Amino acid sequence: MATLSAVNKMSWICSHVIRQTTGFRAAKLIQQRAFRVNGAVRQQPFDSSEEKPQFPGASAEFIDHLEFIQPNVISGIPVYRVMDRAGQIINPSEDPQLSKEQVLNFYQKMTLLNTMDRILYESQRQGRISFYMTNYGEEGTHIGSAAALDPRDLVFGQYREAGVLMYRGFPLDLFMAQCYANVDDLGKGRQMPVHYGSKDLNFVTISSPLATQIPQAAGAAYAAKRENTNRAVICYFGEGAASEGDAHAGFNFSATLECPLIFFCRNNGYAISTPTNEQYRGDGIAARGPGYGMMSIRVDGNDVFAVYNATKEARRRAVAENQPFLIEAMTYRIGHHSTSDDSSAYRSVDEVNYWDKQDHPISRLRHYMTARSWWSEEDERSWRKQSRKMVMEAFEKAEKRHKPHPDLMFSDVYEEMTPNLVKQKEAMWRHIQQYKEHYPLDAYAK
Protein backbone atom coordinates (compact mmCIF):
# COMPACT_ATOMS: atom_id res chain seq x y z
CA MET A 1 0.00 0.00 0.00
CA ALA A 2 2.86 2.37 0.89
CA THR A 3 4.42 1.71 -2.48
CA LEU A 4 1.09 2.32 -4.26
CA SER A 5 0.57 5.54 -2.29
CA ALA A 6 4.04 6.74 -3.26
CA VAL A 7 3.37 5.95 -6.91
CA ASN A 8 0.06 7.84 -6.82
CA LYS A 9 1.74 10.82 -5.19
CA MET A 10 4.55 10.83 -7.76
CA SER A 11 1.95 10.56 -10.55
CA TRP A 12 0.04 13.57 -9.14
CA ILE A 13 3.27 15.62 -8.92
CA CYS A 14 4.25 14.75 -12.53
CA SER A 15 0.75 15.57 -13.80
CA HIS A 16 0.82 18.90 -11.95
CA VAL A 17 4.23 19.75 -13.39
CA ILE A 18 3.11 18.75 -16.90
CA ARG A 19 -0.07 20.84 -16.60
CA GLN A 20 1.95 23.83 -15.44
CA THR A 21 4.52 23.36 -18.19
CA THR A 22 1.83 22.82 -20.82
CA GLY A 23 -0.04 25.88 -19.62
CA PHE A 24 3.13 27.94 -19.75
CA ARG A 25 3.94 26.69 -23.24
CA ALA A 26 0.39 27.30 -24.44
CA ALA A 27 0.44 30.84 -23.07
CA LYS A 28 3.80 31.42 -24.69
CA LEU A 29 2.56 29.94 -27.97
CA ILE A 30 -0.48 32.24 -28.00
CA GLN A 31 1.84 35.13 -27.28
CA GLN A 32 4.12 34.11 -30.14
CA ARG A 33 1.30 33.41 -32.61
CA ALA A 34 1.28 36.99 -33.70
CA PHE A 35 1.09 38.07 -37.28
CA ARG A 36 2.04 41.50 -38.52
CA VAL A 37 -0.42 43.82 -40.21
CA ASN A 38 1.38 46.90 -41.53
CA GLY A 39 4.22 45.97 -39.20
CA ALA A 40 2.39 46.90 -35.99
CA VAL A 41 -0.93 45.18 -35.09
CA ARG A 42 -0.65 41.91 -33.16
CA GLN A 43 -3.23 39.13 -33.09
CA GLN A 44 -5.22 38.87 -29.85
CA PRO A 45 -5.78 35.57 -27.97
CA PHE A 46 -8.53 33.49 -29.54
CA ASP A 47 -12.12 34.09 -28.36
CA SER A 48 -14.43 31.43 -29.74
CA SER A 49 -17.48 33.50 -28.82
CA GLU A 50 -16.65 36.12 -31.42
CA GLU A 51 -18.15 35.55 -34.86
CA LYS A 52 -14.96 36.47 -36.65
CA PRO A 53 -12.54 34.24 -38.58
CA GLN A 54 -9.75 33.02 -36.33
CA PHE A 55 -7.70 31.33 -39.06
CA PRO A 56 -4.01 32.15 -38.61
CA GLY A 57 -3.37 32.44 -42.36
CA ALA A 58 -5.37 35.55 -43.25
CA SER A 59 -7.13 38.59 -41.82
CA ALA A 60 -10.72 38.79 -43.10
CA GLU A 61 -14.44 38.83 -42.31
CA PHE A 62 -17.08 36.15 -42.82
CA ILE A 63 -19.70 36.58 -45.58
CA ASP A 64 -22.92 34.61 -46.04
CA HIS A 65 -23.16 34.57 -49.83
CA LEU A 66 -21.10 32.80 -52.49
CA GLU A 67 -18.82 35.21 -54.30
CA PHE A 68 -15.60 34.76 -56.25
CA ILE A 69 -13.14 37.61 -56.37
CA GLN A 70 -12.89 39.06 -59.86
CA PRO A 71 -9.39 39.72 -61.25
CA ASN A 72 -10.38 43.32 -62.06
CA VAL A 73 -11.89 44.06 -58.65
CA ILE A 74 -9.33 46.85 -58.32
CA SER A 75 -8.86 49.35 -61.15
CA GLY A 76 -5.44 49.45 -62.82
CA ILE A 77 -2.59 50.62 -60.61
CA PRO A 78 -1.73 54.19 -61.69
CA VAL A 79 1.62 55.10 -63.25
CA TYR A 80 3.59 57.65 -61.25
CA ARG A 81 5.42 60.29 -63.28
CA VAL A 82 7.09 63.65 -62.71
CA MET A 83 7.66 64.87 -66.28
CA ASP A 84 5.35 64.72 -69.27
CA ARG A 85 6.66 63.65 -72.68
CA ALA A 86 7.75 67.21 -73.43
CA GLY A 87 9.96 67.32 -70.35
CA GLN A 88 7.65 69.61 -68.38
CA ILE A 89 7.30 69.09 -64.62
CA ILE A 90 3.66 68.22 -63.91
CA ASN A 91 3.57 68.73 -60.14
CA PRO A 92 6.31 71.07 -58.82
CA SER A 93 6.21 69.39 -55.41
CA GLU A 94 7.45 66.15 -57.04
CA ASP A 95 10.42 67.81 -58.75
CA PRO A 96 13.54 66.19 -57.19
CA GLN A 97 15.30 69.58 -57.48
CA LEU A 98 18.51 68.07 -58.82
CA SER A 99 21.36 70.40 -59.66
CA LYS A 100 22.39 71.18 -63.22
CA GLU A 101 25.52 69.07 -62.77
CA GLN A 102 23.49 66.06 -61.62
CA VAL A 103 21.04 66.31 -64.50
CA LEU A 104 23.85 66.70 -67.03
CA ASN A 105 25.48 63.61 -65.55
CA PHE A 106 22.20 61.70 -65.97
CA TYR A 107 21.97 62.75 -69.60
CA GLN A 108 25.59 62.04 -70.45
CA LYS A 109 25.48 58.58 -68.90
CA MET A 110 22.25 57.74 -70.75
CA THR A 111 23.63 58.89 -74.11
CA LEU A 112 27.04 57.30 -73.53
CA LEU A 113 25.30 53.99 -72.88
CA ASN A 114 23.30 54.49 -76.07
CA THR A 115 26.48 55.15 -78.06
CA MET A 116 28.25 52.12 -76.60
CA ASP A 117 25.23 49.99 -77.49
CA ARG A 118 25.29 51.08 -81.13
CA ILE A 119 28.99 50.39 -81.58
CA LEU A 120 28.98 46.99 -79.84
CA TYR A 121 25.82 45.93 -81.65
CA GLU A 122 27.48 46.76 -84.97
CA SER A 123 30.67 44.96 -83.94
CA GLN A 124 28.67 41.78 -83.31
CA ARG A 125 27.07 42.09 -86.73
CA GLN A 126 30.57 42.34 -88.17
CA GLY A 127 31.62 39.14 -86.38
CA ARG A 128 33.97 40.86 -83.94
CA ILE A 129 32.15 39.68 -80.81
CA SER A 130 29.84 36.70 -80.43
CA PHE A 131 26.77 38.25 -78.82
CA TYR A 132 25.28 41.50 -77.54
CA MET A 133 22.15 42.95 -75.94
CA THR A 134 21.26 46.63 -76.29
CA ASN A 135 19.53 48.84 -73.72
CA TYR A 136 17.70 51.10 -76.19
CA GLY A 137 14.68 52.77 -74.62
CA GLU A 138 15.40 51.64 -71.07
CA GLU A 139 18.19 54.07 -70.19
CA GLY A 140 15.96 56.02 -67.80
CA THR A 141 15.29 52.97 -65.63
CA HIS A 142 19.03 52.36 -65.24
CA ILE A 143 20.25 55.85 -64.46
CA GLY A 144 17.27 56.98 -62.39
CA SER A 145 17.47 53.97 -60.09
CA ALA A 146 21.27 53.86 -59.86
CA ALA A 147 21.44 57.52 -58.85
CA ALA A 148 19.03 56.93 -55.95
CA LEU A 149 21.12 54.19 -54.35
CA ASP A 150 24.00 54.29 -51.90
CA PRO A 151 27.27 53.10 -53.50
CA ARG A 152 27.45 50.38 -50.82
CA ASP A 153 24.10 48.93 -51.84
CA LEU A 154 24.38 45.54 -53.52
CA VAL A 155 23.06 45.20 -57.07
CA PHE A 156 21.72 42.00 -58.63
CA GLY A 157 21.10 42.56 -62.33
CA GLN A 158 19.49 40.42 -65.00
CA TYR A 159 21.30 41.26 -68.25
CA ARG A 160 19.98 44.64 -69.37
CA GLU A 161 21.28 46.94 -66.62
CA ALA A 162 24.61 48.10 -68.04
CA GLY A 163 23.66 51.71 -67.26
CA VAL A 164 23.56 50.96 -63.53
CA LEU A 165 27.13 49.74 -63.66
CA MET A 166 28.16 52.66 -65.88
CA TYR A 167 26.65 55.17 -63.44
CA ARG A 168 28.68 53.59 -60.63
CA GLY A 169 31.89 54.24 -62.51
CA PHE A 170 32.57 51.05 -64.44
CA PRO A 171 34.95 52.22 -67.21
CA LEU A 172 34.41 51.74 -70.93
CA ASP A 173 37.64 49.74 -71.11
CA LEU A 174 36.18 47.07 -68.82
CA PHE A 175 32.85 46.96 -70.67
CA MET A 176 34.80 46.30 -73.86
CA ALA A 177 37.17 43.84 -72.19
CA GLN A 178 34.22 41.77 -70.99
CA CYS A 179 32.50 41.70 -74.38
CA TYR A 180 35.77 40.82 -76.12
CA ALA A 181 36.76 38.35 -73.37
CA ASN A 182 40.30 39.66 -73.40
CA VAL A 183 43.05 39.55 -70.80
CA ASP A 184 41.67 42.65 -69.03
CA ASP A 185 38.26 41.06 -68.43
CA LEU A 186 37.51 40.77 -64.69
CA GLY A 187 35.79 37.46 -65.44
CA LYS A 188 38.92 36.14 -67.23
CA GLY A 189 37.01 35.44 -70.44
CA ARG A 190 34.78 32.78 -68.92
CA GLN A 191 31.43 34.50 -69.48
CA MET A 192 29.51 35.33 -72.62
CA PRO A 193 29.28 39.04 -73.55
CA VAL A 194 27.20 41.50 -71.43
CA HIS A 195 27.60 39.34 -68.30
CA TYR A 196 29.30 42.10 -66.36
CA GLY A 197 30.23 42.18 -62.70
CA SER A 198 32.33 44.23 -60.29
CA LYS A 199 33.11 43.39 -56.70
CA ASP A 200 34.51 46.88 -56.11
CA LEU A 201 31.26 48.48 -57.31
CA ASN A 202 29.00 46.01 -55.45
CA PHE A 203 27.52 44.67 -58.67
CA VAL A 204 27.04 40.90 -58.61
CA THR A 205 28.15 39.20 -61.84
CA ILE A 206 25.32 38.52 -64.28
CA SER A 207 24.32 34.90 -64.84
CA SER A 208 22.40 33.65 -67.85
CA PRO A 209 19.64 31.55 -66.20
CA LEU A 210 16.53 33.67 -65.87
CA ALA A 211 15.41 34.91 -62.42
CA THR A 212 18.04 33.07 -60.38
CA GLN A 213 19.13 36.45 -59.02
CA ILE A 214 15.77 37.04 -57.31
CA PRO A 215 16.03 34.53 -54.41
CA GLN A 216 19.76 35.24 -54.23
CA ALA A 217 18.98 38.91 -53.65
CA ALA A 218 16.53 37.98 -50.89
CA GLY A 219 19.27 36.02 -49.14
CA ALA A 220 21.76 38.85 -49.52
CA ALA A 221 19.24 41.36 -48.15
CA TYR A 222 18.52 39.13 -45.15
CA ALA A 223 22.27 38.99 -44.46
CA ALA A 224 22.48 42.79 -44.72
CA LYS A 225 19.64 43.08 -42.23
CA ARG A 226 21.39 40.79 -39.73
CA GLU A 227 24.62 42.75 -40.12
CA ASN A 228 22.69 45.96 -39.37
CA THR A 229 24.84 47.99 -41.77
CA ASN A 230 22.12 50.30 -43.18
CA ARG A 231 22.68 48.69 -46.54
CA ALA A 232 20.02 47.82 -49.10
CA VAL A 233 19.90 45.35 -51.96
CA ILE A 234 18.29 46.03 -55.34
CA CYS A 235 17.29 43.26 -57.72
CA TYR A 236 16.48 43.97 -61.38
CA PHE A 237 14.42 41.68 -63.60
CA GLY A 238 11.98 41.82 -66.50
CA GLU A 239 8.27 41.07 -66.51
CA GLY A 240 9.04 37.75 -68.21
CA ALA A 241 11.34 36.69 -65.37
CA ALA A 242 8.50 37.41 -62.94
CA SER A 243 6.77 34.32 -64.37
CA GLU A 244 9.56 32.10 -63.07
CA GLY A 245 9.14 30.17 -59.81
CA ASP A 246 12.23 31.90 -58.45
CA ALA A 247 10.29 35.17 -58.42
CA HIS A 248 7.69 33.71 -56.06
CA ALA A 249 10.39 32.33 -53.77
CA GLY A 250 12.26 35.64 -53.67
CA PHE A 251 9.14 37.73 -53.08
CA ASN A 252 7.88 35.49 -50.29
CA PHE A 253 11.21 35.09 -48.51
CA SER A 254 11.90 38.82 -48.56
CA ALA A 255 8.46 39.67 -47.18
CA THR A 256 8.35 37.04 -44.43
CA LEU A 257 11.96 37.68 -43.39
CA GLU A 258 11.43 41.45 -43.64
CA CYS A 259 14.44 42.21 -45.81
CA PRO A 260 15.73 45.64 -46.97
CA LEU A 261 15.28 44.81 -50.64
CA ILE A 262 14.04 46.68 -53.70
CA PHE A 263 12.60 44.50 -56.44
CA PHE A 264 12.91 46.55 -59.64
CA CYS A 265 10.90 45.16 -62.55
CA ARG A 266 11.59 46.58 -66.01
CA ASN A 267 8.30 45.93 -67.76
CA ASN A 268 9.39 46.63 -71.34
CA GLY A 269 6.48 44.97 -73.13
CA TYR A 270 8.18 41.81 -74.37
CA ALA A 271 9.85 38.73 -72.89
CA ILE A 272 11.95 38.06 -75.98
CA SER A 273 9.04 37.55 -78.43
CA THR A 274 6.27 37.01 -75.87
CA PRO A 275 4.11 40.14 -75.41
CA THR A 276 2.69 41.02 -72.01
CA ASN A 277 -0.86 39.98 -72.97
CA GLU A 278 0.45 36.42 -73.36
CA GLN A 279 2.72 36.65 -70.31
CA TYR A 280 0.09 37.37 -67.63
CA ARG A 281 -3.62 38.10 -67.19
CA GLY A 282 -3.45 40.30 -64.07
CA ASP A 283 -2.61 43.98 -63.73
CA GLY A 284 1.08 43.74 -64.46
CA ILE A 285 3.73 43.00 -61.85
CA ALA A 286 3.09 45.72 -59.24
CA ALA A 287 -0.33 44.18 -58.54
CA ARG A 288 1.40 41.09 -57.18
CA GLY A 289 3.11 43.00 -54.38
CA PRO A 290 0.15 43.23 -51.96
CA GLY A 291 -0.40 39.47 -52.24
CA TYR A 292 3.06 38.97 -50.78
CA GLY A 293 2.66 41.75 -48.23
CA MET A 294 4.99 44.12 -50.08
CA MET A 295 4.73 47.86 -50.66
CA SER A 296 4.42 48.43 -54.42
CA ILE A 297 4.44 51.25 -56.95
CA ARG A 298 4.22 51.56 -60.72
CA VAL A 299 6.28 54.30 -62.35
CA ASP A 300 6.87 55.74 -65.81
CA GLY A 301 10.20 54.12 -66.65
CA ASN A 302 10.82 56.68 -69.41
CA ASP A 303 10.76 59.46 -66.80
CA VAL A 304 14.17 59.39 -65.14
CA PHE A 305 12.97 61.68 -62.33
CA ALA A 306 10.00 59.44 -61.47
CA VAL A 307 12.32 56.43 -61.34
CA TYR A 308 14.76 58.39 -59.18
CA ASN A 309 12.09 59.54 -56.71
CA ALA A 310 10.50 56.11 -56.37
CA THR A 311 13.81 54.29 -55.89
CA LYS A 312 15.13 56.86 -53.43
CA GLU A 313 12.04 56.63 -51.21
CA ALA A 314 11.90 52.83 -51.50
CA ARG A 315 15.56 52.63 -50.55
CA ARG A 316 15.10 54.94 -47.54
CA ARG A 317 12.14 53.00 -46.19
CA ALA A 318 13.57 49.57 -46.98
CA VAL A 319 16.58 50.29 -44.75
CA ALA A 320 14.67 52.19 -42.04
CA GLU A 321 11.79 49.73 -41.77
CA ASN A 322 13.40 46.45 -42.90
CA GLN A 323 10.83 45.62 -45.53
CA PRO A 324 10.91 44.89 -49.26
CA PHE A 325 9.51 47.17 -51.96
CA LEU A 326 8.39 46.35 -55.49
CA ILE A 327 8.86 48.93 -58.24
CA GLU A 328 7.39 48.24 -61.68
CA ALA A 329 8.93 50.59 -64.24
CA MET A 330 6.81 50.76 -67.38
CA THR A 331 9.05 51.21 -70.41
CA TYR A 332 9.64 49.80 -73.90
CA ARG A 333 12.41 47.69 -75.37
CA ILE A 334 13.19 49.53 -78.60
CA GLY A 335 15.96 47.19 -79.73
CA HIS A 336 15.81 43.49 -80.51
CA HIS A 337 15.94 41.22 -77.48
CA SER A 338 19.51 40.37 -78.44
CA THR A 339 21.63 39.88 -81.53
CA SER A 340 20.03 36.43 -81.78
CA ASP A 341 16.56 37.95 -82.19
CA ASP A 342 14.67 39.64 -85.03
CA SER A 343 11.82 41.55 -83.41
CA SER A 344 10.30 42.49 -86.80
CA ALA A 345 8.83 38.97 -86.79
CA TYR A 346 6.48 39.78 -83.90
CA ARG A 347 5.98 43.59 -83.80
CA SER A 348 5.52 46.37 -86.31
CA VAL A 349 8.00 49.04 -87.32
CA ASP A 350 5.39 51.70 -86.53
CA GLU A 351 5.10 50.46 -82.96
CA VAL A 352 8.86 50.67 -82.43
CA ASN A 353 9.10 54.08 -84.11
CA TYR A 354 6.48 55.54 -81.78
CA TRP A 355 8.56 54.78 -78.69
CA ASP A 356 11.81 55.72 -80.37
CA LYS A 357 10.61 59.08 -81.71
CA GLN A 358 7.82 60.22 -79.40
CA ASP A 359 8.35 58.75 -75.93
CA HIS A 360 12.05 58.15 -75.39
CA PRO A 361 13.69 58.73 -71.98
CA ILE A 362 16.69 60.48 -73.51
CA SER A 363 14.67 62.96 -75.57
CA ARG A 364 12.38 63.66 -72.60
CA LEU A 365 15.33 64.60 -70.38
CA ARG A 366 16.85 66.65 -73.18
CA HIS A 367 13.60 68.65 -73.46
CA TYR A 368 13.82 69.33 -69.73
CA MET A 369 17.41 70.59 -69.98
CA THR A 370 16.77 72.66 -73.10
CA ALA A 371 13.85 74.46 -71.44
CA ARG A 372 16.26 75.55 -68.70
CA SER A 373 19.01 76.58 -71.14
CA TRP A 374 21.24 73.85 -69.70
CA TRP A 375 21.81 72.19 -73.09
CA SER A 376 22.08 73.47 -76.64
CA GLU A 377 22.40 72.05 -80.13
CA GLU A 378 26.11 72.81 -80.02
CA ASP A 379 26.44 70.96 -76.69
CA GLU A 380 24.64 68.01 -78.24
CA ARG A 381 26.91 67.86 -81.31
CA SER A 382 30.04 68.26 -79.20
CA TRP A 383 29.04 65.59 -76.67
CA ARG A 384 27.94 63.09 -79.33
CA LYS A 385 31.29 63.46 -81.05
CA GLN A 386 33.21 63.21 -77.78
CA SER A 387 31.27 60.20 -76.49
CA ARG A 388 31.70 58.30 -79.76
CA LYS A 389 35.43 58.98 -79.64
CA MET A 390 35.62 57.65 -76.07
CA VAL A 391 33.79 54.46 -76.99
CA MET A 392 35.83 53.91 -80.16
CA GLU A 393 39.11 54.32 -78.31
CA ALA A 394 38.09 51.68 -75.76
CA PHE A 395 36.78 49.49 -78.58
CA GLU A 396 40.05 49.63 -80.55
CA LYS A 397 42.12 48.99 -77.44
CA ALA A 398 40.05 45.92 -76.52
CA GLU A 399 40.45 44.40 -79.99
CA LYS A 400 44.23 44.54 -79.74
CA ARG A 401 44.53 42.91 -76.33
CA HIS A 402 45.42 39.22 -75.91
CA LYS A 403 42.93 36.58 -74.83
CA PRO A 404 43.31 35.15 -71.30
CA HIS A 405 45.63 32.17 -70.87
CA PRO A 406 43.80 28.88 -71.58
CA ASP A 407 44.78 27.47 -68.17
CA LEU A 408 42.42 29.97 -66.54
CA MET A 409 39.52 27.75 -67.62
CA PHE A 410 40.49 25.41 -64.79
CA SER A 411 41.26 27.83 -61.95
CA ASP A 412 39.25 29.65 -59.28
CA VAL A 413 36.91 26.79 -58.46
CA TYR A 414 39.05 24.70 -56.11
CA GLU A 415 42.00 25.88 -54.08
CA GLU A 416 43.93 22.89 -55.45
CA MET A 417 42.98 21.42 -58.79
CA THR A 418 41.15 18.09 -58.47
CA PRO A 419 42.47 14.96 -60.27
CA ASN A 420 39.69 15.00 -62.86
CA LEU A 421 40.42 18.65 -63.70
CA VAL A 422 44.13 17.86 -64.01
CA LYS A 423 43.27 15.14 -66.54
CA GLN A 424 40.98 17.50 -68.47
CA LYS A 425 43.69 20.16 -68.59
CA GLU A 426 46.26 17.67 -69.88
CA ALA A 427 43.80 16.42 -72.49
CA MET A 428 43.14 19.99 -73.62
CA TRP A 429 46.83 20.68 -74.18
CA ARG A 430 47.31 17.40 -76.08
CA HIS A 431 44.42 18.39 -78.33
CA ILE A 432 45.84 21.88 -78.88
CA GLN A 433 49.28 20.51 -79.78
CA GLN A 434 47.78 17.97 -82.17
CA TYR A 435 45.67 20.59 -83.97
CA LYS A 436 47.84 23.64 -83.37
CA GLU A 437 46.98 25.14 -86.77
CA HIS A 438 43.46 25.80 -85.42
CA TYR A 439 44.63 27.37 -82.13
CA PRO A 440 46.72 30.54 -82.64
CA LEU A 441 48.34 30.62 -79.20
CA ASP A 442 50.17 33.82 -80.02
CA ALA A 443 46.78 35.54 -79.54
CA TYR A 444 46.66 34.41 -75.91
CA ALA A 445 48.45 35.73 -72.84
CA LYS A 446 51.61 33.85 -71.93
For 221-237, the pLDDT digits (tens) are 999 999 999 999 999 99
How far apart CA 197 and CA 205 sit, in angstroms, is 4
Q: Annotated catalytic, 337?
A: yes
More confident residue, 19 or 441: 441
Q: Annotated catalytic, 208?
A: yes
How far apart CA 159 and CA 34 sit, in angstroms, is 40
pLDDT confidence of 43, banded at 50, 70, 90? low
* Integer CA distances (angstroms), 214 to 229, 249, 291, 315, 407, in order: 21, 8, 17, 17, 32
pLDDT value for 302 = 98
How far apart CA 347 and CA 275 sit, in angstroms, is 9
Query: 338, 343, 360, 387: which is the annotated catalytic residue?
Result: 338
How far apart CA 71 and CA 88 sit, in angstroms, is 35
Cα separation of the two ends of the chain: 95
* Domain range annotation of the chain: 92-400, 406-443
pLDDT value for 63 = 87
pLDDT value for 61 = 87
Average of per-residue pLDDT across 180-209: 97
155 neighbors 203 (Cβ within 8 angstroms): yes
Query: 11, 130, 208, 340: which is the annotated catalytic residue?
Result: 208
Residue 58 above 80 pLDDT? no
Query: 195, 336, 337, 360: which is the annotated catalytic residue?
Result: 337
Q: Annotated catalytic, 376?
A: no
Architecture of domain 92-400 in this structure: 3-Layer(aba) Sandwich (3.40)
pLDDT value for 375 = 98
pLDDT value for 45 = 63
How many CB atoms sit inside 10 A of residue 200's CB?
A: 9
Q: What percent of the chain has pLDDT over 90?
A: 83
DSSP sequence for 25-44: HHHHHHHH----BTTTB-PP
Q: Compute the 3-state secondary structure of the chain and give helix, strand, coil in percent, each to the nearest 5.
A: 50, 10, 40
pLDDT confidence of 324, banded at 50, 70, 90? very high
In sequence order, what are the residues at sequence separation of 6 or more whose Cβ sits closer than 8 angstroms to the Cβ of residue 64?
A: none
- Averaged pLDDT score across all residues of the chain: 90
Average of per-residue pLDDT across 185-208: 97
Average of per-residue pLDDT across 369-386: 98
206 neighbors 190 (Cβ within 8 angstroms): no
pLDDT value for 40 = 45
How many CB atoms sit inside 10 A of residue 190's CB?
A: 14
Range name among 28-37, 71-80, 116-125, 191-200 with the lowest pLDDT average: 28-37
How far apart CA 160 and CA 394 sit, in angstroms, is 20
Residue 18 above 90 pLDDT? no
**Alpha helices (H) in 126-236, listed in sequence order:** 139-147, 162-167, 172-180, 213-227
Q: Annotated catalytic, 49?
A: no
pLDDT value for 44 = 60
pLDDT confidence of 59, banded at 50, 70, 90? confident
pLDDT value for 49 = 55
pLDDT confidence of 357, banded at 50, 70, 90? very high
Query: 11, 15, 59, 122: which is the annotated catalytic residue?
Result: 122
pLDDT value for 37 = 39
How far apart CA 292 and CA 255 sit, in angstroms, is 7
Q: pLDDT, tens digit, for every residue of 254-291? A: 999 999 999 999 999 999 999 999 999 999 999 999 99
pTM: 0.87
Helix axes 377-400 and 100-125, enclosed angle (nearest 10): 50
Amino acid at 62: F
How far apart CA 39 and CA 21 sit, in angstroms, is 31
pLDDT confidence of 402, banded at 50, 70, 90? very high
Q: pLDDT, tens digit, for every residue of 71-90? A: 876 678 999 999 999 999 99
Residue 14 above 80 pLDDT? no
* Integer CA distances (angstroms), 76 to 268, 282, 284, in order: 17, 9, 9
* Integer CA distances (angstroms), 13 to 18, 20, 26, 331, in order: 9, 11, 20, 71
Residue 192 above 80 pLDDT? yes
Tell me the pairing of strands 261-267 and 325-330: parallel
Buried b (16+ CB within 10 A) or exposed e, 266-278: bbbbbbeeeeeee
Any idea what the Cα angle at residue 246 is, between residues 243 and 249, rounded to 5°? 115
In sequence order, what are the residues at sequence separation of 6 or more whose Cβ sits closer than 8 angstroms to the Cβ of residue 89?
A: 82, 83, 95, 368
Please compute, for residue 429, the number of CA atoms within 13 A of its CA located in the half-sphere on the CB side: 11
Q: pLDDT, tens digit, for every residue of 101-158? A: 999 999 999 999 999 999 999 999 999 999 999 999 999 999 999 999 999 999 999 9
Please compute, for residue 336, the number of CA atoms within 13 A of its CA located in the half-sphere on the CB side: 15
pLDDT confidence of 182, banded at 50, 70, 90? very high
Phi/psi of residue 298, nearest 5 degrees: -115, 130
pLDDT value for 11 = 47
Q: pLDDT, tens digit, for every residue of 330-353? A: 999 999 999 999 999 999 999 999
Average of per-residue pLDDT across 426-432: 97
40 neighbors 250 (Cβ within 8 angstroms): no
